[in-house]
Amino acid sequence: MLTYEAKARVFSGTQPTGIPTLGNYVGAYSNWLKMQDDYECLFCVVDMHSLTVRNDAAELRKNAKSLLALYLAVGFNPEKCILYFQSHVPEHAQLSWVLNCYTYMGELSRMTQFKDKSAKHSENINAGLFTYPVLMAADILLFNAEYVPIGDDQKQHVEITRDIAERFNNVYGDVFTVPKPLISELGARIMSLSDPKKKMSKSDDAGDYISMLDAPDVIISKFKRAVTDSEREVRFDPAAKPGVSNLLTIYSVMTNKTIKDSERDFEGKGYGDFKIAVGETVASKLKPIQDEYNRITADKIYLESISKSGAEKARKIAMKTYGKVARKVGLVQF
Protein backbone atom coordinates (compact mmCIF):
# COMPACT_ATOMS: atom_id res chain seq x y z
CA MET A 1 0.00 0.00 0.00
CA LEU A 2 1.25 3.48 -0.86
CA THR A 3 2.26 5.64 2.08
CA TYR A 4 3.82 9.03 1.51
CA GLU A 5 4.06 10.76 4.87
CA ALA A 6 6.42 13.73 4.88
CA LYS A 7 7.49 13.23 1.27
CA ALA A 8 7.57 16.04 -1.27
CA ARG A 9 5.34 15.38 -4.28
CA VAL A 10 6.62 15.10 -7.86
CA PHE A 11 4.57 15.09 -11.06
CA SER A 12 5.67 14.43 -14.62
CA GLY A 13 4.42 12.77 -17.78
CA THR A 14 5.05 11.91 -21.42
CA GLN A 15 2.86 12.15 -24.50
CA PRO A 16 2.02 8.82 -26.17
CA THR A 17 2.82 10.03 -29.67
CA GLY A 18 5.16 7.17 -30.52
CA ILE A 19 7.79 4.98 -28.88
CA PRO A 20 9.94 7.07 -26.49
CA THR A 21 13.51 7.75 -27.53
CA LEU A 22 16.84 7.26 -25.84
CA GLY A 23 16.58 10.97 -25.03
CA ASN A 24 13.40 10.30 -23.05
CA TYR A 25 15.11 7.48 -21.18
CA VAL A 26 18.34 9.33 -20.39
CA GLY A 27 16.86 12.78 -19.84
CA ALA A 28 13.69 11.76 -18.03
CA TYR A 29 13.01 8.16 -17.04
CA SER A 30 16.42 7.32 -15.61
CA ASN A 31 16.14 10.40 -13.38
CA TRP A 32 12.52 9.71 -12.41
CA LEU A 33 13.52 6.21 -11.31
CA LYS A 34 15.83 7.67 -8.67
CA MET A 35 12.93 9.66 -7.19
CA GLN A 36 10.62 6.76 -6.34
CA ASP A 37 12.03 6.15 -2.88
CA ASP A 38 12.52 9.78 -1.89
CA TYR A 39 9.40 11.50 -3.25
CA GLU A 40 5.69 10.92 -3.65
CA CYS A 41 5.66 10.47 -7.42
CA LEU A 42 2.91 10.59 -10.02
CA PHE A 43 3.98 9.62 -13.54
CA CYS A 44 1.28 10.16 -16.10
CA VAL A 45 0.61 9.14 -19.70
CA VAL A 46 -0.58 12.58 -20.87
CA ASP A 47 -2.82 11.33 -23.65
CA MET A 48 -5.06 14.43 -23.67
CA HIS A 49 -2.10 16.60 -24.66
CA SER A 50 -1.67 14.43 -27.75
CA LEU A 51 -4.97 15.69 -29.18
CA THR A 52 -3.47 19.02 -30.31
CA VAL A 53 -2.41 17.19 -33.49
CA ARG A 54 -4.53 14.82 -35.55
CA ASN A 55 -4.07 11.19 -34.53
CA ASP A 56 -5.38 7.87 -35.69
CA ALA A 57 -7.61 6.83 -32.77
CA ALA A 58 -6.53 3.19 -32.68
CA GLU A 59 -2.86 4.19 -32.94
CA LEU A 60 -3.15 6.67 -30.07
CA ARG A 61 -4.74 4.06 -27.80
CA LYS A 62 -2.03 1.57 -28.75
CA ASN A 63 0.73 4.10 -28.07
CA ALA A 64 -0.79 5.07 -24.71
CA LYS A 65 -0.86 1.46 -23.51
CA SER A 66 2.63 0.92 -24.90
CA LEU A 67 3.94 3.90 -22.94
CA LEU A 68 2.40 2.66 -19.69
CA ALA A 69 4.06 -0.71 -20.31
CA LEU A 70 7.41 1.04 -20.88
CA TYR A 71 7.00 2.95 -17.61
CA LEU A 72 6.73 -0.39 -15.87
CA ALA A 73 9.50 -1.98 -17.93
CA VAL A 74 12.08 0.68 -17.06
CA GLY A 75 11.37 0.05 -13.39
CA PHE A 76 8.60 2.34 -12.17
CA ASN A 77 7.09 0.44 -9.26
CA PRO A 78 3.29 0.89 -8.84
CA GLU A 79 3.79 0.19 -5.13
CA LYS A 80 6.06 3.23 -4.88
CA CYS A 81 4.50 5.65 -7.39
CA ILE A 82 1.21 6.35 -9.13
CA LEU A 83 1.02 5.45 -12.83
CA TYR A 84 -2.10 6.39 -14.79
CA PHE A 85 -3.66 7.79 -17.95
CA GLN A 86 -4.41 11.51 -17.85
CA SER A 87 -7.81 11.01 -19.53
CA HIS A 88 -8.88 8.66 -16.72
CA VAL A 89 -8.81 11.57 -14.25
CA PRO A 90 -11.41 14.12 -15.49
CA GLU A 91 -10.27 16.72 -12.98
CA HIS A 92 -7.34 17.46 -15.28
CA ALA A 93 -9.73 18.94 -17.84
CA GLN A 94 -12.00 20.54 -15.23
CA LEU A 95 -9.16 22.38 -13.53
CA SER A 96 -7.71 23.35 -16.90
CA TRP A 97 -10.91 25.24 -17.77
CA VAL A 98 -10.86 27.14 -14.47
CA LEU A 99 -7.19 28.04 -14.93
CA ASN A 100 -7.88 29.20 -18.50
CA CYS A 101 -9.90 31.96 -16.89
CA TYR A 102 -6.85 33.04 -14.87
CA THR A 103 -4.35 32.95 -17.76
CA TYR A 104 -3.73 35.83 -20.14
CA MET A 105 -3.63 35.66 -23.93
CA GLY A 106 -0.31 37.51 -24.00
CA GLU A 107 1.31 34.89 -21.77
CA LEU A 108 0.20 32.06 -24.03
CA SER A 109 1.18 33.82 -27.25
CA ARG A 110 4.76 34.10 -25.98
CA MET A 111 5.17 30.37 -25.41
CA THR A 112 7.98 29.00 -27.56
CA GLN A 113 6.32 25.63 -28.04
CA PHE A 114 3.20 27.25 -29.50
CA LYS A 115 5.33 29.15 -32.01
CA ASP A 116 7.30 26.06 -32.97
CA LYS A 117 4.32 23.76 -33.33
CA SER A 118 2.33 26.39 -35.21
CA ALA A 119 5.14 26.53 -37.75
CA LYS A 120 5.23 22.73 -38.04
CA HIS A 121 1.44 22.29 -38.19
CA SER A 122 0.34 25.45 -39.96
CA GLU A 123 -2.76 23.69 -41.28
CA ASN A 124 -3.98 22.93 -37.74
CA ILE A 125 -3.28 25.86 -35.37
CA ASN A 126 -6.08 25.04 -32.94
CA ALA A 127 -7.17 26.49 -29.61
CA GLY A 128 -5.91 23.40 -27.78
CA LEU A 129 -2.41 24.04 -29.09
CA PHE A 130 -2.65 27.61 -27.80
CA THR A 131 -3.93 26.66 -24.34
CA TYR A 132 -1.71 23.58 -24.04
CA PRO A 133 0.37 25.23 -21.25
CA VAL A 134 -2.77 25.71 -19.14
CA LEU A 135 -3.58 21.99 -19.25
CA MET A 136 0.03 21.33 -18.32
CA ALA A 137 -0.34 23.74 -15.41
CA ALA A 138 -3.51 21.93 -14.36
CA ASP A 139 -1.64 18.60 -14.48
CA ILE A 140 0.89 19.90 -11.98
CA LEU A 141 -1.29 22.06 -9.74
CA LEU A 142 -4.02 19.43 -9.47
CA PHE A 143 -1.68 17.38 -7.30
CA ASN A 144 0.04 20.31 -5.58
CA ALA A 145 3.33 18.96 -6.85
CA GLU A 146 6.31 20.62 -5.23
CA TYR A 147 8.72 19.56 -7.97
CA VAL A 148 8.51 18.91 -11.70
CA PRO A 149 11.42 16.99 -13.29
CA ILE A 150 11.98 18.52 -16.72
CA GLY A 151 14.53 19.11 -19.44
CA ASP A 152 15.97 22.60 -19.67
CA ASP A 153 13.80 23.26 -22.72
CA GLN A 154 10.65 22.91 -20.59
CA LYS A 155 11.45 25.60 -18.03
CA GLN A 156 9.04 28.04 -19.68
CA HIS A 157 6.11 25.72 -18.94
CA VAL A 158 6.96 25.53 -15.25
CA GLU A 159 7.37 29.31 -15.17
CA ILE A 160 3.87 29.93 -16.53
CA THR A 161 2.51 27.29 -14.13
CA ARG A 162 4.09 29.20 -11.25
CA ASP A 163 2.61 32.48 -12.55
CA ILE A 164 -0.88 30.99 -12.78
CA ALA A 165 -0.63 29.44 -9.30
CA GLU A 166 0.58 32.65 -7.72
CA ARG A 167 -2.13 34.69 -9.48
CA PHE A 168 -4.85 32.33 -8.24
CA ASN A 169 -3.39 32.25 -4.72
CA ASN A 170 -3.28 36.05 -4.60
CA VAL A 171 -7.03 36.12 -5.21
CA TYR A 172 -8.21 33.13 -3.17
CA GLY A 173 -5.52 32.45 -0.59
CA ASP A 174 -3.14 29.52 -0.23
CA VAL A 175 -4.80 27.08 -2.66
CA PHE A 176 -1.97 25.78 -4.86
CA THR A 177 1.58 24.74 -4.13
CA VAL A 178 3.88 26.79 -6.37
CA PRO A 179 6.09 24.15 -8.06
CA LYS A 180 9.80 24.22 -8.72
CA PRO A 181 11.62 22.61 -11.68
CA LEU A 182 14.06 19.76 -11.15
CA ILE A 183 16.60 19.79 -13.97
CA SER A 184 19.24 17.07 -14.20
CA GLU A 185 22.68 18.42 -15.11
CA LEU A 186 23.91 15.29 -16.89
CA GLY A 187 21.90 13.78 -19.69
CA ALA A 188 19.15 16.36 -19.36
CA ARG A 189 19.22 16.91 -23.11
CA ILE A 190 20.26 14.20 -25.55
CA MET A 191 20.78 15.48 -29.07
CA SER A 192 19.99 14.17 -32.54
CA LEU A 193 22.51 11.74 -34.01
CA SER A 194 22.52 13.61 -37.34
CA ASP A 195 22.30 17.16 -35.98
CA PRO A 196 23.89 17.34 -32.51
CA LYS A 197 22.77 20.93 -32.07
CA LYS A 198 19.12 19.81 -32.06
CA LYS A 199 17.35 17.80 -29.36
CA MET A 200 16.71 14.12 -30.13
CA SER A 201 13.05 13.76 -31.10
CA LYS A 202 10.82 10.93 -32.25
CA SER A 203 9.30 13.32 -34.79
CA ASP A 204 12.59 13.34 -36.73
CA ASP A 205 13.73 10.79 -39.32
CA ALA A 206 14.11 7.31 -37.80
CA GLY A 207 17.88 7.34 -38.32
CA ASP A 208 18.28 10.49 -36.25
CA TYR A 209 17.13 9.00 -32.96
CA ILE A 210 17.28 5.78 -30.97
CA SER A 211 13.90 4.29 -30.11
CA MET A 212 13.74 2.47 -26.79
CA LEU A 213 12.46 -0.55 -28.71
CA ASP A 214 15.06 -0.54 -31.50
CA ALA A 215 16.75 -3.91 -32.00
CA PRO A 216 20.45 -4.12 -30.95
CA ASP A 217 21.75 -4.28 -34.53
CA VAL A 218 19.63 -1.25 -35.47
CA ILE A 219 20.98 0.71 -32.49
CA ILE A 220 24.61 -0.05 -33.35
CA SER A 221 24.02 0.79 -37.01
CA LYS A 222 22.52 4.18 -36.10
CA PHE A 223 25.45 5.04 -33.86
CA LYS A 224 27.91 4.08 -36.60
CA ARG A 225 26.30 6.77 -38.77
CA ALA A 226 26.20 9.40 -35.99
CA VAL A 227 27.74 12.77 -36.88
CA THR A 228 31.06 13.58 -35.18
CA ASP A 229 33.76 15.86 -36.66
CA SER A 230 36.95 15.82 -38.72
CA GLU A 231 39.24 15.25 -35.71
CA ARG A 232 39.94 11.91 -34.03
CA GLU A 233 40.11 12.86 -30.36
CA VAL A 234 37.27 11.71 -28.09
CA ARG A 235 36.91 14.80 -25.93
CA PHE A 236 33.98 16.54 -24.26
CA ASP A 237 33.62 19.99 -25.77
CA PRO A 238 29.96 20.83 -26.63
CA ALA A 239 30.87 24.02 -28.50
CA ALA A 240 33.67 22.66 -30.69
CA LYS A 241 32.71 18.96 -30.76
CA PRO A 242 28.91 18.73 -30.28
CA GLY A 243 28.57 15.28 -31.89
CA VAL A 244 31.33 13.65 -29.86
CA SER A 245 30.12 15.39 -26.69
CA ASN A 246 26.60 14.07 -27.25
CA LEU A 247 27.89 10.50 -27.61
CA LEU A 248 30.09 10.91 -24.53
CA THR A 249 27.08 12.09 -22.53
CA ILE A 250 25.08 9.06 -23.64
CA TYR A 251 27.95 6.69 -22.82
CA SER A 252 28.51 8.31 -19.42
CA VAL A 253 24.89 8.03 -18.37
CA MET A 254 24.55 4.48 -19.64
CA THR A 255 27.70 3.31 -17.83
CA ASN A 256 27.19 5.51 -14.76
CA LYS A 257 30.66 6.97 -15.28
CA THR A 258 31.84 10.55 -15.15
CA ILE A 259 32.64 12.37 -18.38
CA LYS A 260 36.34 12.34 -17.45
CA ASP A 261 36.33 8.58 -16.90
CA SER A 262 34.48 8.13 -20.18
CA GLU A 263 37.08 10.21 -22.01
CA ARG A 264 39.82 8.01 -20.52
CA ASP A 265 38.05 4.88 -21.81
CA PHE A 266 38.66 6.10 -25.36
CA GLU A 267 42.12 7.61 -25.13
CA GLY A 268 44.04 6.74 -28.28
CA LYS A 269 41.00 5.20 -29.95
CA GLY A 270 39.33 6.44 -33.11
CA TYR A 271 35.75 7.45 -33.70
CA GLY A 272 34.88 4.09 -35.28
CA ASP A 273 35.64 2.15 -32.10
CA PHE A 274 34.04 4.90 -30.02
CA LYS A 275 30.74 4.81 -31.91
CA ILE A 276 30.52 1.02 -31.79
CA ALA A 277 31.22 1.03 -28.05
CA VAL A 278 28.50 3.58 -27.42
CA GLY A 279 26.06 1.60 -29.57
CA GLU A 280 26.84 -1.68 -27.82
CA THR A 281 26.50 -0.04 -24.42
CA VAL A 282 23.09 1.41 -25.28
CA ALA A 283 21.87 -1.85 -26.83
CA SER A 284 22.97 -3.80 -23.75
CA LYS A 285 21.24 -1.34 -21.42
CA LEU A 286 17.95 -1.36 -23.36
CA LYS A 287 17.76 -5.13 -23.94
CA PRO A 288 16.40 -6.10 -20.47
CA ILE A 289 13.92 -3.21 -20.66
CA GLN A 290 12.72 -4.48 -24.04
CA ASP A 291 12.37 -8.03 -22.70
CA GLU A 292 10.33 -6.80 -19.74
CA TYR A 293 8.23 -4.61 -22.03
CA ASN A 294 7.38 -7.63 -24.20
CA ARG A 295 6.40 -9.62 -21.11
CA ILE A 296 4.15 -6.85 -19.77
CA THR A 297 2.41 -6.08 -23.06
CA ALA A 298 1.50 -9.77 -23.37
CA ASP A 299 -0.36 -9.55 -20.04
CA LYS A 300 -3.26 -7.22 -20.89
CA ILE A 301 -5.12 -7.94 -17.64
CA TYR A 302 -2.11 -6.84 -15.57
CA LEU A 303 -1.65 -3.65 -17.58
CA GLU A 304 -5.33 -2.79 -17.22
CA SER A 305 -5.20 -3.38 -13.47
CA ILE A 306 -2.25 -1.00 -13.13
CA SER A 307 -4.00 1.77 -15.08
CA LYS A 308 -7.23 1.36 -13.10
CA SER A 309 -5.51 1.29 -9.73
CA GLY A 310 -3.35 4.30 -10.64
CA ALA A 311 -6.35 6.33 -11.80
CA GLU A 312 -8.21 5.60 -8.56
CA LYS A 313 -5.25 6.76 -6.45
CA ALA A 314 -4.73 9.86 -8.59
CA ARG A 315 -8.42 10.78 -8.45
CA LYS A 316 -8.45 10.73 -4.65
CA ILE A 317 -5.89 13.52 -4.67
CA ALA A 318 -7.34 15.31 -7.70
CA MET A 319 -10.92 15.43 -6.41
CA LYS A 320 -9.78 17.02 -3.17
CA THR A 321 -7.84 19.76 -4.98
CA TYR A 322 -10.53 20.45 -7.55
CA GLY A 323 -13.24 20.52 -4.86
CA LYS A 324 -11.33 23.24 -3.05
CA VAL A 325 -10.86 25.23 -6.27
CA ALA A 326 -14.55 24.89 -7.18
CA ARG A 327 -15.60 26.24 -3.78
CA LYS A 328 -13.19 29.16 -4.04
CA VAL A 329 -14.45 30.28 -7.45
CA GLY A 330 -18.12 29.82 -6.52
CA LEU A 331 -19.20 26.70 -8.39
CA VAL A 332 -22.12 24.77 -6.88
CA GLN A 333 -20.80 21.51 -5.42
CA PHE A 334 -22.12 18.20 -6.75
Residue 315 confidence class, pLDDT cut points 50, 70, 90: very high
Residue 2: pLDDT above 50? Answer: no
pLDDT tens digits, 47-88: 999 998 888 999 999 999 999 999 999 999 999 999 999 999
- The reply to whether 328 belongs to the active site is no
- Map out the domains of the chain with their CATH numbers: 9-189+300-329 (3.40.50.620), 214-294 (1.10.240.10)
Q: Is pLDDT larger for residue 117 or for residue 134?
A: 134
Among 65, 202, 241, 275, which one carries the catalytic annotation? Answer: 202
**Averaged pLDDT of the chain:** 92
pTM reported for the whole predicted model: 0.90
Does residue 300 have an active-site annotation? no
Q: Residue 1 pLDDT more than 70?
A: no
Instruction: Reduce the secondary structure of the chain to three states and give it as a string.
Output: CCCCCCCCEEEEEECCCCCCEHHHHHHHHHHHHCCCCCCEEEEEECCHHHHHCCCCHHHHHHHHHHHHHHHHHHCCCCCCEEEEEHHHCCHHHHHHHHHHCCCCHHHHHCCHHHHHHHHHCCCCCCHHHHHHHHHHHHHHHCCCCCEEEECHHHHHHHHHHHHHHHHHHHHHCCCCCCCEEEECCCCCCCECCCCCCCECCCCCCHHHCCECCCCHHHHHHHHHCCCCCCCCCCCCECCCEHHHHHHHHHHHHHHCCCHHHHHHHCCCCCHHHHHHHHHHHHHHHHHHHHHHHHHHHCCHHHHHHHHHHHHHHHHHHHHHHHHHHHHHHCCCCC
> 199, 241, 275, 285: which is the annotated catalytic residue?
199
Active-site choice (7, 80, 117, 275): 117
Catalytic site includes residue 222: no
pLDDT of 198-239, one tens digit each? 989 887 888 899 999 999 999 999 999 999 999 989 999 999
The predicted model gives 165-193 an average pLDDT of: 88
